[in-house]
Amino acid sequence: MLALDLRTTGMEFASEMVVKSTLHDLRITEVPTTLQPDGRSRPPHLRSWRDGWKHLRFLLLYSPRWLFLYPGILLMFVGLVVALALMQGPIFIGGLAFDAQTLLYAAAAIILGFQAIAFGVFTKVFAISEGLLPEDPKLTFSKIKLNLEKGLIVGAALIITGLVCSVYSVLTWKLSSFGALVPALTLRIIIPAITALIIGVQIVFSSLFLSVLGLRRR
């Protein structure tokens, strides 16, 4: 039990003990016990909602894939599919027309999906660094440092792409003497440009923050 290196100090200690025992393949057996009133006069110190939330929050920390990663991947995939389809033009399904407004929601899904994926990685690295989860060979210090450099390159590329698309939209506006434009056409350039800028900046910041989480320390 001491080798499990238990870390929590509150009511979630019981959950950590069970989870870590499972992760280390220890044998868990239910032992029947008989409980009796202890005779103390003070009210119980257990707070159902507060302590229950502590347990739930702690258990969610042990499942970043299902809490953040998989929902984020699903959001990004759906957003990308819808965005790529709408960038070609409006889509008509029955009597409904999906146009630039739907493209905006698709872009929001891509951004939220990326944020969820980043949170999943942050949670995993934090849990490993705090001894709550076992070491992961995919998230070693050297690999995190290498991914920092890759993240900066990918983020910079997306930022440049967003800036180029933004300049192109301004030049298109200039051709019409900065007059009125067709929103459905211009938004097909502006929305992807803004999405690329936001994702690019998020990748840069996320890479830097991930490198901070992965720093070796005593």
Q: Say if CB 127 and CB 62 are below 8 A apart.
A: yes
Q: pLDDT class for 140, splitting at 50, 70, 90?
A: low
- pLDDT at position 160: 95
Residue 167 lies in a domain: yes
Domain that holds residue 183: 9-20+59-213
100 vs 131, residue with greater confidence: 100
What is the DSSP code (8-state) at residue 188? H
User: Domain for residue 218, yes or no?
Assistant: no
End-to-end CA distance of the chain: 23
Q: Tell me how far apart the alpha carbons of residues 6 and 70 are, in angstroms, rounded to a whole number.
A: 28
Query: Number of structural domains, the chain?
Result: 1
> Is the pLDDT at 218 greater than 60, yes or no?
no
When pLDDT is cut at 50, 70 and 90, the band that residue 6 belongs to is confident
Q: What is the pLDDT of residue 75?
A: 95
Residue 144 lies in a domain: yes
Q: Bridge-partner residues for 98, per DSSP?
A: 91
* Predicted local confidence at residue 215, as pLDDT: 67
Q: Give the model's confidence band at 146: pLDDT under 50 very low, under 70 low, under 90 confident, else very high.
A: low
Q: What is the pTM of this model?
A: 0.77
| Residue 187 φ/ψ, nearest 5 degrees | -65, -25
